Amino acid sequence: MNLDELVQSIRQLSTDKEVQGLSHWMLEWKTSDADIAGLRYTVEKYFGTVWIDSEDIHNAAYELWQTFLKLVVDRVDGMTVNERLYHFSLFDAYDAVSEARRAELLAKLR
């Protein structure tokens, strides 16, 4: 699972504005200055402060997030740069930018 797949899965759960907002913040991370820890903090804060009307949808979205944490975020230190770029859906961004911006993307991915 990569970040884009996670976002797509969450978007398919509901058209509820809070669910769509969660997916929006996940995608916004890709262009922000925040690193992986910042992504984790933002998503966890979102789940803790935003009310999703349906408990089933909330639980399904949180379960998807937890799966992403276990499969990707918690294992990032053992990944190659290419694996990190793939799992965080940043290959296209990496290929499309200057060397200076590439260094920023690599720092974002630790």
Average pLDDT, stretch 49-64? 96
Contact 93, 30 (CB under 8 A): yes
Average pLDDT, stretch 5-29? 97
Confidence of residue 100 (pLDDT cuts 50, 70, 90): confident
> Which long-range contacts (C-beta less than 8 Å, at least 24 apart) are formed by 7-12?
9/64, 10/61, 10/64, 10/65
Give 22-41 pLDDT, tens digit per residue: 999 999 999 999 999 999 99
Average pLDDT, stretch 51-72? 97
